[in-house]
């Protein structure tokens, strides 16, 4: 594997209601915008419209190719039930080359 692939993937964090997280993950996978989505329960504390919120939800840890990030953001905003969903892209600086190659091959 060439070293240039080491910076070609990102990890996206997105929180969602537990009832919606699997549906969101499957739709993103079906569209081939992502290679993998891990779903884990989290407790989120945040301020929304002047109120302090304390919610149980799921964290989607999404692995994708950098060239898919913009389309992925649009897709999540379309299918996500929140008005302002958390969508944070973190670039991957290094990783196991076999995994990075796999992510690149699984996304369009």
Q: What is the per-residue pLDDT across 9-63, written as a single tens digit (0 to 9) for each?
A: 999 999 999 999 999 999 999 999 999 999 999 999 999 999 999 999 999 999 9
pTM of the model: 0.92
**pLDDT score at 4:** 54
Residues 13, 86: contact at Cβ < 8 Å? Answer: yes
pLDDT tens per residue, range 70-90: 999 999 999 999 999 999 999
Contact in structure between 58 and 17 (CB atoms under 8 Å) = yes
Topology (CATH level 3) of domain 12-106: Alpha-Beta Plaits (3.30.70)
Task: Give the H/E segment covering residue 63.
Answer: strand 51-65
Would you kindly state where each structural domain of the chain is located, as residue ranges? 12-106
Q: Count how many residues are written for the chain.
A: 108
């Amino acid at each position: 594997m060439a070293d240039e692939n080491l910076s070609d993937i990102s990890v996206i964090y997105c929180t969602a209601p537990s009832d919606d997280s699997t549906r969101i993950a499957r739709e993103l996978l079906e569209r081939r915008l992502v290679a993998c989505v891990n779903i884990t329960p989290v407790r989120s504390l945040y301020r929304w419209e002047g109120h302090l919120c304390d919610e149980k939800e799921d964290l989607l840890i999404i692995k994708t190719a950098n060239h898919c990030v913009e389309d992925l953001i649009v897709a999540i905003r379309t299918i996500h039930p929140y008005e302002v969903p958390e969508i944070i892209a973190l670039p991957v600086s290094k990783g196991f080359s076999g995994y990075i190659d796999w992510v690149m091959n699984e996304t369009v």
